[in-house]
Amino acid sequence: MIFETIHGLSKKLAAKELSAFEATKAYLNRIETVDKKVRAFITVSHEDALKAAVEADKRLSDGDRVTPLTGVPVAVKDIFCTSGIRTTCASKILENFVPPFDATVVKRLKDAGAVILGKNNMDEFAMGSSTENSAFFPTSNPWSLDRVPGGSSGGSAAAVAAGECAASVGTDTGGSIRQPAGCCGVVGLKPTYGRVSRFGMIAFASSLDQAGPITRDVTDSAIILNAISGRDDLDSTSLKEDKPDFTAGLASGVRGLRIGIPKEYFIEGMDPEVEAAVRAAIDELKKQGAQIVDITLPHTEYAVSVYYLVATAEASSNLARFDGVKYGLRTESEGNLLDMYKRTRDAGFGPEVKRRIMLGTYSLSSGYYDAYYKKASQVRTLITNDFDAAFKSCDVIATPTAPTAAFKRGEKVKDPLTMYLSDIFTISCNLAGIPGLSIPCGLTKDGLPIGLQLLGRRLDEATLLKAAFAYEQATGWHKKRPQI
């Protein structure tokens, strides 16, 4: 049962083959059994989860407000505010912070009847690609415990892969849903910027952050996106466009769909096993009737540089609020107010967060703004234009999710530039604000998952999900499970 899909669990719950309470107990037992090895959770909400399960069983029994998520045990990344449950962002500065309200994503999951099992580990303030930057502990990849699960939503991806929850909701600023999904052999979807509310989601880079599902299969991603997406008046960047039923057109196939292959994403230095698996996946889609089109995204080479100027500048601004006054950590110290600020931020932030605050502050400073942040914003527009031009000749773009499979823990943590290149194929999607999805497409000779990334037009998640579903149904990679 612990590896059942959301739609599979939902059918069993509706047929009374299983109760929400029994399902929740099974997942809590699974967490207790395997999370000592994986360390995917920062906080497990035993009592709250069981209470929610009892309420879900009542809804199922009464037939009241039943949705495909009613009674389904899920988790959320520890970047979403949860009323009465601590929200740490995997940082010492928020270690004991308990919000008085739920993020809109959490509220919508609860409204749909989902059971929240707890909060997943992550890179501190979502800054990282390996979940080694958590202030509390690193998370292991369930496929190989000496490997990273990716990041920053590594705890979410690892929890789903290890059978510790039916699904999780993560966040993606430069690949933080898709890259860990690729590393852990699960499905990860970053929706169009503004498709899902950011209210109550602690900000890293406000023009890039977006919440999305991490699930066992494509249908489950569509189910969660149905629940969490839509206009929210509490978020000024939330889009007003009507949302479709993302599950409706999944099985319509890819015959006639034009799939673009950008030469810039098949580069020297990429793992040959990754390239072979991705090209085999593209061939499978072609076999199903898709048309393969060569495209170019000429400004891709600047994406990493642009991202680490825009994202760090916004992080520098967003993280200024953590000053020891309003909430979170405050160090005891003699001296004036400025001394307290300095000591609190020094004690509360980890090395990667400090590095990015300093980079962002520098690029925004007088005399450097035009040369760095302004120039990066201009090149960001060129990257967006590249995608607009490409989508005139194709409907979906197919690329590797990452240049390699999951790397060994400690391998890149002391070399930030090498770590940053882990997101080289995912960053452009966030800069352009378009949707992206990672789906399992193979295993390396060492038994590590490989991800296929699909990118779509703005607000066209439905086509992405349709293409991913067609590939998924023709292969069995999403059914592979780690032995833990």
Tokens of 148: 């990273």
Q: How many CB atoms lie within 10 A of CB 410?
A: 12
Q: Residues 69, 109: contact at Cβ < 8 Å?
A: yes
Cα(58)–Cα(60) distance, rounded to whole angstroms?
Answer: 5
CA distances from 435 to 78, 178, 297, 362 (A): 22, 11, 16, 30
Cα(432)–Cα(457) distance, rounded to whole angstroms?
Answer: 10
Radius of gyration of the chain (CA): 21
Cα(314)–Cα(357) distance, rounded to whole angstroms?
Answer: 9
| Candidate list 10, 19, 156, 176, residue with the active-site label | 176
User: Does the CA dihedral 273-34-201-50 come out positive or negative?
Assistant: positive
Cα(227)–Cα(245) distance, rounded to whole angstroms?
Answer: 10
Q: What are phi and psi of 186, to 5 degrees?
A: -125, 180
**H or E element in which residue 341 lies:** helix 337-348
Determine the length of the chain. Answer: 484
| Candidate list 10, 152, 221, 438, residue with the active-site label | 152
| Candidate list 10, 77, 144, 197, residue with the active-site label | 77
Would you call 453 exposed, middle or buried from its count of C-beta atoms within 10 A (0-12, 13-18, 19+)? buried
Q: Residues 209, 311: contact at Cβ < 8 Å?
A: no
Task: Note the Cα 294 to chain centre separation in Å.
Answer: 28
Helices marked H in 140-188 = 154-161, 178-184
Residues 6 or more apart whose Cβ sits within 8 Å of residue 335: none
Residues 6 or more apart whose Cβ sits within 8 Å of residue 471: 281, 284, 285, 288, 439, 441, 452
- Give residue for tokens 């995997």: 90
Q: Residues 190, 212: contact at Cβ < 8 Å?
A: yes
**H or E element in which residue 290 lies:** none
Is 366 marked active-site? no
Is 77 marked active-site? yes
Cα(145)–Cα(412) distance, rounded to whole angstroms?
Answer: 16
- Give residue for tokens 């390699």: 404
Q: What is the set of active-site residues? A: 77, 152, 176
